[in-house]
Amino acid sequence: MHTRSPMLLAVALALPGSAAAQLSRAALVKQSDIIFIGTVTQVHAVAVPEVPASDRTIVVRIDQVLEKPAAVALTPGDSVTVQTVRPGSLKPGTQATFYTTGWIFGRGVAVREVGHELGHSPVVAADQQEAVARARHEVNDAELRAHIRTAAMVVAGRVEQVRPAELTPAPARPKRITEHDPDWQEAIIAVQDAIKGAQAGDRVVVRFPGSSDVAWVGTPRFAVGQEATFLLHKDSTTGSPFAMVAGQSVPAYTALHQVDVLSKADALRVRALIRKP
């Protein structure tokens, strides 16, 4: 199946109720991080002085925010500059759901359109909120399912111990220590629910960076007593594929992606995704 371009998606979603619109929403949600319902107030105009006006820029008044990063300040009534996919595709007074990506954050917010769906009533607004949430859930499930497939082991368990990593063979020491050094640590996890590639009662070694440097922002950290569902990958990062537990050499794992550590309750969701064809 061919992936549609943002322009084709925008055209398809401008036709409310069409089959193309329903099929394309998940693709738009996947490409977007700021989604809102708004009304076009100006065309060939901007509300952010850092952006030059063009035939593709419009000003949109926010009616309802459906999704946005926590750090982005957007509330109903705000005016947002939107760089549209196609010049002249929207007119003043048009209300639509806008699927966008962040562009400029300064004395206002400017976004780039991925696509839009037309709509005018409170009923449409409520339906759109539900539809976007459903599409986001489908996108998240698809991404998690793909991540589960690449995991060597999936378990729910409890962190029993955290210790400095003893890498064997020891990696070559850099000429000088920098803030980017990962400072590898090891978490010993007691497996309570073996979902994939393990058995209940196993002890698993998971390596993670102890460094707080920006290079490791978003990487999961582990603490004694932590209970979670872990998607574990064989350690191909530290150069030391084995670790010691109770005097025995065992494979070492990593969990370096944000979705590698989920809540313990997510074990049921993970099992369901594994069973889903």
Tens of pLDDT along the chain (277 residues) come to 333 344 434 434 444 443 334 437 888 998 999 999 999 999 999 999 999 999 999 999 999 999 999 889 999 999 999 999 999 999 999 999 999 999 999 889 999 999 998 875 554 567 777 888 888 888 888 889 999 999 999 999 999 999 999 887 655 554 444 556 899 999 999 999 999 999 999 999 999 999 988 888 889 999 999 999 999 999 999 999 999 998 999 999 999 999 999 999 999 999 999 887 7
* Alpha helices (H) along the chain: 6-13, 19-31, 122-150, 266-275
Instruction: Give domain status of residue 42, yes or no.
Output: yes
Tell me whether residue 207 is in a domain: yes
Predicted confidence at residue 134, as pLDDT, reads 83
CA distance 141 to 150: 14
pLDDT value of residue 172: 52
- Could you give the 3-state DSSP secondary structure of residue 49? coil
pLDDT confidence of residue 215 = 85
Is 128 inside any structural domain? yes
Q: In CATH, what number is assigned to the domain containing residue 130?
A: 2.40.50.120
Looking at the structure, tell me whether residues 17 and 136 fall in a common domain.
yes
Q: Is residue 165 part of a domain?
A: yes
pTM confidence score: 0.59
SS (H, E, C) 232-277: EEECCCCCCCEEEECCEEEEEEECCCHHHEECCCHHHHHHHHHHCC
Contact 7, 83 (CB under 8 A): no
Residue 1 lies in a domain: no
> Does 209 lie in the same domain as 196?
yes
- State the pLDDT at residue 18: 37
Same domain, 93 and 204: no
109 token code pair: 């917010």
- CA distance to 50, 225, 266, 270, per residue, from 156 (Å): 49, 13, 9, 10
Would you state the pLDDT for residue 9? 42
Same domain, 141 and 182: no
3-state secondary structure of 17: coil
* pLDDT value for 173: 54
Same domain flag for 166 and 270: yes
Determine how β-strand 57-67 pairs with β-strand 34-43: antiparallel
Instruction: Please identify which residue in the block is written with the tokens 């998607």.
Output: 231
CA distance 116 to 113: 8
Same domain, 200 and 263: yes
Shared domain check, 50 and 142: yes
pLDDT at 238: 94
Single-letter residue type at 31: Q
List the domain range (segments joined by +) for residue 134: 6-147
Q: According to the model, what pLDDT value does residue 235 have?
A: 96
Tokens 């069973």, located at residue = 275
Same domain (yes/no): 25, 88? yes
> Is the residue at 80 inside a domain?
yes
CATH of the domain at 255: 2.40.50
Within-domain flag for 185: yes
Q: Are residues 136 and 22 in the same domain?
A: yes
**How far out from the chain centre does Cα 223 lie?**
23
Domain identity same for 172 and 46: no
232 with 164, same domain? Answer: yes
**Chain centroid offset of residue 169 CA:** 35
- The last residue of one of the domains, among 147, 182, 217, is 147
Work out the angle between the directed axes of helices 19-31 and 122-150 (0-180°, nearest 10). Answer: 60
Domain boundary pick from 147, 173, 199: 147
Phi and psi angles of residue 7, each rounded to the nearest 5 degrees, phi first: -65, -45
* Cβ 220 vs Cβ 232: under 8 Å: no
* φ, ψ of residue 180 in degrees (nearest 5): -85, -5
Q: Are residues 17 and 129 in the same domain?
A: yes
The pLDDT assigned to 90 comes to 95
Domain limit, last residue, from 123, 147, 171: 147
Number of domains within the chain: 2
Question: Has residue 116 been placed in a domain?
Answer: yes
